[in-house]
């Protein structure tokens, strides 16, 4: 993992913790063995996370397409890098 990936991962983990009202801690978010639903993330948390990612990184997440990448930090990092976010 590059330094950019690490920095993005940590920033996203922070957004996840905020979106879940602290339920999914940054440390738990970064654990790739389980997805966010299994960690206790709800659909309402996802709504907040999507809004936070779009606002923070100036990207648009097309929710009419496949959104399974939102289930893990690594998937979100991959999506952001595809959008040229560094």
Partner 1 sequence: MILYERISKGLADHPDSLIGNLSEKISYGRLCDLVDDKSRALTMALDLQRGAPARVGIVRRNAPAYVSDFLAVLRVGGVPFLIDPALGAHEIVTLDTCCGFDGILHDGSAQLPPGRCVVDCAGTPLWLPADQASSRLPLAPDTEVCRLTSGSTRSPACIEFSGSAVSAAAQAWCSASELNSADRVLCFAGLYNGLAFNTSLIPGLLAGADLLFPAGLPSPSNIARHLVTLEPTVLVAFPAAYDHLAASQLDWMAQSRLRLALSSAARLSLQTSVTLAQRSIRVADYYGIAETGPLTFNSDPTPGGGQGYPLPGVSLRTEGVKDGIGTLLAKSRSAGTRYLNYPGELEGRFSSDGYYRTTDRGALLPSGELQLAGRLGNSFNLGGRKFSSEEVENLLTSHPAVAAGTAAVVSPDGGRPFLGAVVVRKYEVDPVELRRHYLARAASFKVPERIIFVDVLPTNGAGKVQGSKIEQLLLSYRDRD
70, 46 Cβ separation under 8 angstroms: yes
Interface map 24-63 toward partner 1 (x if CB under 8 A):
-x-------xx--xxxxxxxxxxxx-xx--xx----xxxx
Q: Cα–Cα distance between 26 and 30 in angstroms, integer?
A: 6
Q: Cα–Cα distance between 3 and 29 in angstroms, integer?
A: 18
Contact between 83 and partner 1 (CB under 8 A)? no
Number of residues near partner 1 (by CB under 8 A): 30
Within 12-31, which residues bind partner 1 (CB under 8 A)?
A: 20-23, 25
44, 51 Cβ separation under 8 angstroms: no
What does the binding site for partner 1 look like in residue numbers (CB under 8 A)? 20-23, 25, 33-34, 37-48, 50-51, 54-55, 60-65, 67
């Amino acid at each position: 993992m590059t330094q950019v990936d690490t920095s993005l991962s940590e920033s996203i983990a922070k957004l996840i913790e905020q979106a879940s009202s602290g339920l999914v801690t940054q440390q738990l978010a970064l654990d790739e063995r389980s997805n966010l639903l299994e960690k206790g993330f709800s659909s309402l948390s996802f709504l907040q996370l999507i809004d936070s990612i779009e606002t923070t990184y100036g990207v648009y997440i097309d929710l009419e397409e496949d959104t399974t990448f939102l289930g893990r930090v690594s998937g979100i990092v991959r999506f952001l890098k595809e959008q040229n976010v560094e």
